[in-house]
Amino acid sequence: RYTCLVVYVLDEKTFWNSVWNVIVTRDKATNKGMALSTLAKEQENFLRYAILIVDHSKEALQDLVELNLKNKHLAFDEFLNQNQHAIYHLCYDTQCCQCQNTPPRRKRIIFPSQLELLFDKYKKLPSHRGIGHNDFCCSYAKVGITSQVLDLSLARCLLVNCCLDVFWFTSLTSHSQTLEQFLNSNKHTIYHLWKNNQNCCQCKPGFIFPCNDSLITENEWKIMFSSLLSPCENDRKRMSTGSSSVCSVGATPGIATQNINLEVQRFILQKCSHISKAVDFLVEQRNLRFAHVPEAKIPDSDFKLFLKDIETHLLGISRVCGKETHVKNILRDLHSKPLSLNMLRKYEKLLHKNMEAINKNVNLQHRTTRQSIPRLVDKSSKIRRIEERVDALETSVAAITEE
């Protein structure tokens, strides 16, 4: 989860040799007044696209975090302190000092090395008990920290888990619409977050369901859509009517985001918010376009398509953040500015930094797994003993019954 795009491309040496060859070949061709070869041009496309992902996609997500801070009148360290408990449990699912109940079991979303970027493990809340808890339990944010420390993965993690309000702002306030209007305009998609594999009267041929499993319950659907409407002609021909029919209900009048469960909000925004989709797209591009490519090159035809898609999403984010002109200038420069050895060194340093973090996280996971094995074996033995006792009791009960 804590990754740099180039880590997945090729091994470190091969990747930077490829990039070095791109720059050297380009410089030689430029000095001799020659055109770049097809291979060199495709390698250059790859590096330009890498720059777009490493720098500008990251900046776009940082801008969204900053927009959230601006709307809430918070500094970044204040935001981290407000959300410290939630962020802590994105890494650890064991009970901490602030937990009233045992937190739900969940997959680790961020790593300790990422918590270390954000929090000072030596500065604690006065209520911290300090016994049997992790280093970052009850920690304060680092003094003077800014959103510039966030990489693409960590920025997305904070946005999705702690900044839902900024997605509502870009979906509602920026478009001068109410939540009721938003729900009505996205009713069909939301309906199929509940009825995930059942066609309805509004499904057109070839409609693709937004999810494989049901993400919301009937009760959650009814909270959002309680206004009764007359069913459409197509629906009247169907068996189901009432609140289970998509066309026979409208959004609850005056509904507010506070009336909707946070997890349900997250599902709806993921499927219906253009800015949330843009965030996911940028992160997916980092993974898809660089994770499994056999060589560090992109053909011109693909490069143009990739650029068009990613620039559309970058500009969409920049528009709501008030930075559209700035981003347009950056994108224009990226198309035309020559590659340099300084750029190579910059991205090489970035790779080394991320490689160290990844190796640290992998080693931590291995160590944690090894430490867990004795506990798992012990629990397994206890379960077997309990099963043996249950079997013995069942045998005794059967014998008594026969007597």
Query: For 254, what's the count of Cα atoms within 13 Å in the CB-facing half-sphere?
Result: 0
Domain membership of residue 292 (yes or no) is yes
Same structural domain, 193 and 130 = no
Domain membership of residue 47 (yes or no) is yes
Same structural domain, 229 and 155 = no
SS3 state of residue 316: helix
Report how far residue 216's alpha carbon sits from residue 260's, in angstroms, rounded to the nearest whole number.
Answer: 11
Report how far residue 154's alpha carbon sits from residue 1's, in angstroms, rounded to the nearest whole number.
Answer: 9
The reported pLDDT for the residue numbered 82 is: 97
Element (H, E) at 139: strand 139-141
Element (H, E) at 376: helix 341-402
Report how far residue 147's alpha carbon sits from residue 263's, in angstroms, rounded to the nearest whole number.
Answer: 25
Among 37, 270, 66, smallest CA distance to 164 is for 270
The reported pLDDT for the residue numbered 25 is: 58
Instruction: Quote the distance between the C-alpha of residue 3 and its chain's center.
Output: 13
Domain membership of residue 174 (yes or no) is no
Domain membership of residue 288 (yes or no) is yes
- The number of beta carbons lying within 10 Å of the beta carbon of residue 363 is 10
SS3 state of residue 120: strand
Same structural domain, 35 and 90 = yes
Same structural domain, 143 and 197 = no
Same structural domain, 235 and 140 = no
Query: Mean pLDDT of successive 10-residue segments in the chain (403 residues)?
Result: 34 51 58 64 82 88 98 98 95 87 83 94 86 80 96 94 98 96 97 93 92 95 94 66 76 97 97 97 82 71 89 96 95 82 64 60 61 63 74 71 63
Pick the last residue of a domain from 253, 285, 310: 253
User: Radius of gyration (Cα) for the chain, nearest Å?
Assistant: 26
Same structural domain, 277 and 310 = yes
Same structural domain, 223 and 295 = no
**Cβ within 8 Å of residue 42, ≥6 positions away:** 297, 298, 299, 300, 303
Pick the last residue of a domain from 188, 223, 253: 253
Instruction: Quote the distance between the C-alpha of residue 250 and its chain's center.
Output: 30
Domain membership of residue 312 (yes or no) is yes
The one-character DSSP state at 53 is I
The reported pLDDT for the residue numbered 32 is: 55
| Residue whose token pair is 């993965």 | 153
Report how far residue 336's alpha carbon sits from residue 343's, in angstroms, rounded to the nearest whole number.
Answer: 14
Pick the last residue of a domain from 253, 286, 308: 253
The reported pLDDT for the residue numbered 327 is: 95
Instruction: Count the residues in the chain.
Output: 403
Among 97, 64, 79, 84, smallest CA distance to 269 is for 64
Same structural domain, 15 and 99 = yes
Same structural domain, 116 and 204 = no
The reported pLDDT for the residue numbered 142 is: 97
Same structural domain, 342 and 304 = yes
**What stretches of 32-83 show up as alpha helix (H) in DSSP?**
38-51, 58-72, 76-82
Report how far residue 112's alpha carbon sits from residue 115's, in angstroms, rounded to the nearest whole number.
Answer: 5
Domain membership of residue 265 (yes or no) is no
Domain membership of residue 262 (yes or no) is no
- Number of structural domains found in the chain: 2
Judge contact between 203 and 229, C-beta under 8 A.
no
Give 55's strand partners.
Answer: none
The reported pLDDT for the residue numbered 286 is: 81
Report how far residue 291's alpha carbon sits from residue 9's, in angstroms, rounded to the nearest whole number.
Answer: 5
Torsion angle defined by CA atoms of residues 134, 139, 144 and 147, in that order, rounded to the nearest 10 degrees: 60
Same structural domain, 99 and 155 = yes
Domain membership of residue 268 (yes or no) is no
Query: Range of 216's domain?
Result: 179-253
Among 79, 77, 94, 258, smallest CA distance to 161 is for 79
Same structural domain, 344 and 247 = no
